[in-house]
Structure 1
Amino acid sequence: MSRKTYSLSAVAIVAMAGLSFSSADSAEALAQDGVVEMAASGEASTEEVVEIVPEQSVFVSEEVVQPLPEASARPVASAASLSELVAAIDSDQELTEQLHCLAGAVYFESRGEPLAGQLAVAEVVINRAEDSRWPASYCGVVYQRSQFSFVRGGRMPSINTSSPAWLRAKAVARIAHDGLWETEADGAVYFHAKYVRPGWSRAKTRLAQIDTHIFYR
């Protein structure tokens, strides 16, 4: 015969106790008779004996602490300068495909520029990806035909991935993507070198010039 144990509330226990037999003697006699009858007949009872065990209260003596979300590995934008923030970024972390495209644009378009100029170039790619006039991804923006001169045949040239310039470009891409530092070219979707003057620039709003690049929206 199997045994089941149930945990009931104190109210349920009292209620069930009220259904007991009129006397302890009669209850014991009936129980014994039932056992004798079962033993004599050799038949197993179809009913299970249920033992009612009150549920005990459990008190926790230690403070219950909810687990916190895993801390972000990204540094807080409280650095004293952009160069300090770039140095704090983990440049060894592997990039996603989209961040690789963004870092590639920074590398090929502005690796000789100051960090502020590199950040502004990244800002242009990000702003275009968020604008319905351009493809909705960093890679789509970078590889869009006739937009970036370093893209040839729909491909990005090889990158010297061990160079300091690439490590900086990776860091700048992360900073721009996460919005960790403000840029003078906020809202820019166009830029060109200062030694050229494309016709479209006359119809755009100039936002900033950072070293050799001029940025517009």
Structure 2
Amino acid sequence: MSRRNHRVAIFAAAATLLFSFITTDGSGAYAQANEPLTAQSVPAGTQASAPSAPANEPRFVAHEVVQPLTPEADDSVEDTDDSVEAASLRDLVAMMDTGAEPSGDMLCLAQAIYFEARGEPLAGQLAVGRVVVNRAESSAFPDDYCGVVKQPAQFSFVKNGWIPQAKSGSPAWHRAKAIARIAHQELWDSAAHDALFFHATRVRPSWARQKIARATIERHVFYR
């Protein structure tokens, strides 16, 4: 080979090597080998695993994490406990507001207490009130106080469904109104708590033999 041809061969070889280096460095294959996978580089139908985070860095999850909060006290909620505390039934009667005259069922309940037991101790008056309340709650009797009191042949002071007028303003009437509220709201326990019948101790009705005596309070016997 002549010196001129030798130079041409060397020049051609050098040009070929330089061209090969330039085209290889600019291809996408090199970038994919050194760059993380992107959404565009992941084939369809496959899932790429995310690289693990270093131990000293926080990890992020794909789903939202909701931490339930402890509910704070609602200051707008009022205390609905209407219980009344008293040392004795007499004290509880004195605490009752009896200024307004009752009406409807509460009037019938107070009238039953007044006419049946106004001469009895407070425990006896409460027991009579409990009988009226218990009957209204029983399926065997009318479901309201007036219906219970006016039921035929049940209370001797009722004449043909008519209830006489109590002596308004008297201490006995104020006590009867207070006892009616106590019986209705079940503010005080009674020895005749589940009684449905009663009669005066001076009489012995035939039906009493078929009932279970619950208590004798002063001049009345109470039955279940």
TM-score interval for Structure 1 and Structure 2 normalised by the shorter chain:
0.5 to 0.7
Aligned partner of 1:103 among 98, 105, 110? 110
Question: Within 2, Cα distance between the matches of 1:209 and 1:184?
Answer: 9
Percent identity over paired residues? 53
Aligned-partner Cα distance in 2 for 1:81–1:175: 12
Q: Find 1:149's aligned residue among 150, 156, 174.
A: 156
For the 8 Å contact 2:109–2:146, the answer to whether it is kept is: yes
Structure 2 match to 1:189: 196
1:78 and 2:85 aligned: yes
Larger Rg: 2
Question: Contact 1:130/1:136 (CA < 8 Å) preserved in 2?
Answer: yes
Q: Is the 8 A contact 1:82 1:115 kept in 2?
A: yes
Q: Displaced runs of 4+ in structure 1, greater than 4 A?
A: none
Question: What is residue 23 of structure 1 aligned with on the other side?
Answer: none
AA of the residue aligned to 1:67: S
Partner of 1:67: 76
SS across alignment from 1:122: helix
Q: Report the Cα offset of residue 161 of structure 1.
A: 1.1
How many residue pairs get aligned? The number is: 153
Q: 2:95 aligns with which of 85, 88, 109?
A: 88
Preserved contact between residue 196 and residue 222 of structure 2 (Cα < 8 Å): yes
TM-score (structure 1 length as normaliser): 0.67
Residue 169 of structure 2 is matched in structure 1 by: 162
Partner of 1:39: none
Task: Judging by fraction of residues, say which structure has more strand.
Answer: 1
Secondary structure, aligned partner of 1:132: coil
- Is the 1:77–1:181 Cα contact (8 Å) retained in structure 2? no
2:151 counterpart letter in structure 1: Q
| Root mean square deviation, CA, Å | 1.9
**1:94 Cα shift?**
3.9
Which residue does the alignment assign to 2:123? 116
* Separation of aligned partners in 1, 2:216 and 2:149: 21
Q: In structure 1, how many angstroms separate the alpha carbons of the residues matched to 2:110 and 2:101?
A: 12
**1:158 positional shift:** 1.2
**SS at 1:166's partner residue?**
helix
- Is structure 2 residue 210 aligned with structure 1 residue 203? yes
Tell me the secondary structure at the aligned position of residue 155 of structure 1. coil
Deviation string 1:146-171 (CA, Å, 9 cap, x unpaired) is 11000012111011111000000000
Aligned-partner SS, 2:139:
coil
Deviations 1:50-88 (A, max 9, x none): xxxxxxxxxxxxxx964344877x6x3321100000000
Task: Give secondary structure in 2 for the equivalent of 1:128.
Answer: helix
Cα deviation, residue 206, structure 1: 0.2
Query: CA deviation digits over 1:95-114, x for unaligned, max 9?
Result: 24111100000000000000
Structure-2-length-normalised TM-score? 0.65
Equivalent pair of 1:184/1:207 in contact (CA under 8 Å): yes
The equivalent of 1:57 in structure 2 is none
Structure 2 unaligned segments of length 5 or more: list them: 1-72
Q: In structure 1, what is the equivalent of residue 185 of structure 2?
A: 178
Which range moved further: 150-159 or 175-184?
A: 150-159
Once residues 86 and 191 of structure 1 are traced to their aligned partners in structure 2, the CA distance between those partners, rounded to angstroms, is: 23
CA contact (8 A) 2:152 2:160 kept: no
Cα distance between partner residues in 2 of 1:110 and 1:123: 12
Once residues 131 and 169 of structure 2 are traced to their aligned partners in structure 1, the CA distance between those partners, rounded to angstroms, is 25
- Unmatched 5+ residue regions in structure 1? 1-63
Query: How far apart, in 1, do the equivalents of 2:164 and 2:76 lie?
Result: 46
2:197 touches 2:223 (CA, 8 Å); kept in 1?
A: yes
